[in-house]
A and B are shown apart, each in its own frame.
Chain A
Amino acid sequence: MFGFTRQQGIAFLVMFAAVVIAPFFLYPVFLMKVLCFALFACAYNLLIGYVGLGSFGHAAFFGMGGYIAAYTAKKWGFNPEIAIITGAGAGAVLGAVFGWLSIRRQGIYFAMITLALSQMVYFFCNQAPFTGGEDGIQQVPRGNLFGLISLQSDMTMYVVVSVVFLFGFLLIHRIVHSPFGQVLKAIRENEPRATSLGYRTNDYKLIVFILSAGIAGLAGGTKSLVFGIATLTDVANAMSGEVILMTLLGGMGTIFGPVLGAIMIGSIENYLAQLGAWFAVTQGVIFVLCIMFFRRGLLGELAARLKLSL
């Protein structure tokens, strides 16, 4: 199913079971946050792990998705599912613009263009009246799913968020393991060769960029409804860094790695909040250790050791 290998199938079932069981043991709001970040990291991984495009500006899609979903839900009274989809659409549209400009260059130049564009989005959000400036969009209602089911309870919201997450995750998996995904990997390995085989590599790169941005927008939109706020934090530079950190920690180019990375970063952020400054120090130390000892990320190393593809 969905082109899973046997090990991936087992890993997926384990993850699915964890998603189902977790809210009975852990705090659902924390889990929802982790799932949103996990989806965001998976979207980022689609770009860096499978096409080799390292974007430094993914926060723009995540944050803009959040703003648009929050705005449409609050001001226009959109149902949550429509608001989230609108957020994803906003991410994709922004991704089309970014992608169209940035895929013409490679490596560090590509990264710098995405960084510059995302900074422009940050300043736009800081100034534009609809975002509420530094106060952000506050008190966004969670609303009623399909106009029927109230999402006020955290458990109901959790179900929605996990469905969104699993949908996004499977979508990414499907993309990666489709013929389209094979071409993406070919581009990652050797772009001139892929060109010589007759593929228009720029078209492929643009499409996957839009997909990645759209899924990032989906994650951002969901997050803004979970917490009822959309603020500058989500479009800021640090968020682009955080998603890179999650992806690298978990394992770039593995389908489950970013999820693990998001769980780790989310837990550190949440459970070390009492420690004040130590939070950033711990995050830094973990990152350095990971770069030195687990260059392929935690799951990447594990998969390599066990000769599995996860």
Chain B
Amino acid sequence: MSLTRRGLLAATAASAVPMSARAQRPTLKIGVLTDLAGVYQDIVGPLAVECTRLAIADFGVSAKGFDVEIVTADHQNKPDIGASLARQWYDRDGVDIIMEGGSSAVALAVAAVAKDKNKAYINSGGATSDLTGTMCNAQTLHWTYDTYMLAKSTGGAMVKSGGDSWFFITADYAFGHALTRDVGSFVEQGGGKVLGKVATPFPGTTDFSAFLLQAQASGAKVIGLANAGADTINCIKQAREFGIKATLGGLLVFLSDVHSLGLEVCNGLVLTESFYWDLNDRTRAFSERLKAKSPARRAGMAQAGCYSSALHYLKVANDVGVGKFKAAGGADVIEMLKKMPTDDDVFGAGSIRPDGRVIHPSYLFQVKKPSESKGPWDYYKLLSTTPTDQAFRPIADGRCPLIKA
């Protein structure tokens, strides 16, 4: 191929056009840091990324005069990897906000980086209520749920629905004991009784039969599963095999767990989520739209939370003006996010508290019997709703350093 002056000029012009076009349109860069291949990949993972994309599509960014770019990475559930990816994104790759951010330890680590670099961070999948408690900071929001909300709804609301005597199967580490303590206190506040608890070695316990039989023998109406992940799944399976009559109260169980275990095994299980696809017209509409991107899977609350948070972020960015928004530090961005009430198809109307807690109602569900289920993903029936103002820990009890008493 011979080089001609005309060709060269044309090539220069052609390459200059998209560049100048890009220069005119400011771009927000959202980093979705999640577990793409590990134990939480079904709770957040690739579908959380899809939910974020859907938020961008729904918001209609292209018509608003700016662009949004998404980058994703896998924190492999290792806090040090999560923290170093977060640093890299903020420092070098020009990421404006990190979303999702996985398990509790990773979430706390990323929140610390966000504070350090004064950049914005919105967590959806992490459970620890410390994120808006003793470890809270001005750069971080906690969007979807936390351990307090789960304990309050599963413990408190369950007692009201008749499950007033409890026995706990507790994973023997800090998280398991904290969960047992929190749920136990809600049960007792509601007028229920805790008949006993048994600690199971963690990690590595696979045979829960002795513990389940002990729970059965206590005569409790509800067996609280103060554990997570594989432990919970093994408990549920083995309870079914032993024909345990008591209701199982799952404290960290998600829609995807129910989906992979099947209704045959799970039916009767009681659990708490802040979102379910078949809850109302808006959640159904959201799930219909998501179906185009993910035909096989329905979003659980942590994934739907990514949609909700991304949509709110874009709304505020558009309101404030993207240029100004991009130039602001993390604390200022989060402050602007806090000012606007949230409203979307996932959680309905809600708001963000000064301590970074995003509040909306929580729902106590029971898993349907196979005969009650009308089709794929028709898993839950609603037992009770905890209204927005009661669903989360009162702001004064969190000991968040941002809140001056």
Q: How far is the CA of A139 from the CA of B112 in the complex (A)?
A: 6
Find out whether the CB atom of A233 lies under 8 angstroms from the CB atom of B80.
Answer: yes
* Mask of A129-150 contacts with B, CB within 8 angstroms, 1/0: 1001111101100000000000
Question: Which chain B residues (89-103) contact chain A, with CB distance < 8 Å?
Answer: 91-92
Contact residues of A between 20 and 56, Cβ < 8 Å to B: 27, 29-30, 33
Say whether B92 contacts A27, CB under 8 Å: yes
CB pair A269 B81 closer than 8 Å: yes
- Tell me which of B76, B88, B112 contacts A229 (CB under 8 A): B112
Q: Which of B46-62 contact A (CB under 8 A)?
A: 46
Is the Cβ of A135 less than 8 Å from the Cβ of B83?
Answer: no
Chain A proximity mask over B125-162: 1 for CB below 8 Å, otherwise 0: 00010100001000000000000000000000000000
Q: Does A190 touch B at the CB level, under 8 Å? A: no
Alpha-carbon separation in the docked complex, A200 to B37 (Å): 50
Question: Which chain B residue has the least Cβ–Cβ distance from A270?
Answer: B84
Cα–Cα distance between A241 and B113 once the two chains are bound (Å) = 28
Closest to A234 in B: B80
In the complex, are the beta carbons of A228 and B85 less than 8 A apart?
no
Q: How far is the CA of A117 from the CA of B323 in the complex (A)?
A: 56
Q: Which residue in A129, A227, A234, A279 is a CB contact (below 8 Å) of B109?
A: A227
Binds A, one of B4-12, B169-177, B298-306: B169-177
Given known contacts A29-B84, A277-B36, A229 and B109 CB-to-CB distance under 8 angstroms: yes
Q: Are A136 and B74 in contact (CB under 8 A)?
A: no
- From residue 59 to 108 of chain A, which have CB atoms closer than 8 A to chain B? none
A127: nearest residue on chain B (CB-CB)? B173
Q: Do residues B74 and A279 form an inter-chain contact, with CB atoms below 8 A?
A: yes
Contacts of B399 in A (CB 8 A): none
Measured CA separation A277–B39 after assembly (Å):
11
Q: A133-B175, A134-B174, A229-B109 are in contact. Are A273 and B81 (CB under 8 A)?
A: yes
| Per-residue interface assignment for chain A, residues 267 to 302, with 1 indicating a CB less than 8 Å from any chain B CB and 0 otherwise | 001100111110110000000000000000000000
Chain A residues contacting B105 (CB-CB under 8 Å) are 134-136, 138, 231-232
Contact B80 A33 (CB under 8 A): yes
Question: Cβ of A273: which chain B residues have Cβ within 8 Å of it?
Answer: 73-76, 81, 85
In this complex, how many residues of chain A approach chain B with their Cβ under 8 Å: the count is 32
B residues contacting the other copy or chain, number (CB 8 A): 38
* B102-134 with Cβ < 8 A to chain A: 104-105, 108-109, 112-113, 115-116, 128, 130
Q: Determine the chain B residues whose CB is within 8 A of the CB of A154 once the complex forms.
A: 91
- Chain B residues whose CB sits within 8 angstroms of the CB of A58 once the complex forms: none
B326 sits at the interface (CB 8 A): no
Q: In the bound complex, how far is the Cα of B79 from the Cα of A30, in angstroms? A: 14
B112 near A279: Cβ-Cβ < 8 Å: no
Query: Nearest chain B CB to A276's CB is how many angstroms away?
Result: 3
Q: Is A223 an interface residue (CB 8 A)?
A: yes
Contact B175 A276 (CB under 8 A): no
Given A126-B173, A127-B173, are A27 and B104 also a contact pair (CB < 8 Å)?
no
List A contacts of B84 (CB < 8 A): 29-30, 33, 227, 270
B129 nearest CB across to chain A (Å): 11
Contact surface of A with B, Cβ cutoff 8 Å = 27, 29-30, 33, 126-127, 129, 132-136, 138-139, 154, 223, 227-229, 231-234, 269-270, 273-277, 279-280
29 pairs, A vs B, C-beta closer than 8 Å = A29-B84, A129-B174, A133-B174, A134-B173, A134-B174, A135-B130, A136-B108, A136-B109, A138-B105, A138-B112, A139-B135, A227-B83, A229-B79, A229-B108, A229-B109, A229-B112, A231-B78, A233-B79, A233-B80, A234-B80, A269-B81, A273-B73, A273-B81, A274-B71, A276-B37, A276-B46, A277-B37, A279-B76, A280-B37
Q: Which residues of B are interface residues toward A (Cβ below 8 A)?
A: 36-37, 41, 46, 71-76, 78-81, 83-85, 87-88, 91-92, 104-105, 108-109, 112-113, 115-116, 128, 130, 135, 172-175, 202-203
Q: Which 4 A-B pairs have the closest CB atoms?
A: A133-B174, A276-B36, A277-B37, A276-B37
Q: Given A136-B109, A273-B81, 12 more contacts at CB 8 Å?
A: A27-B91, A30-B88, A134-B105, A136-B79, A227-B79, A227-B83, A229-B112, A269-B76, A270-B84, A276-B36, A276-B74, A280-B37
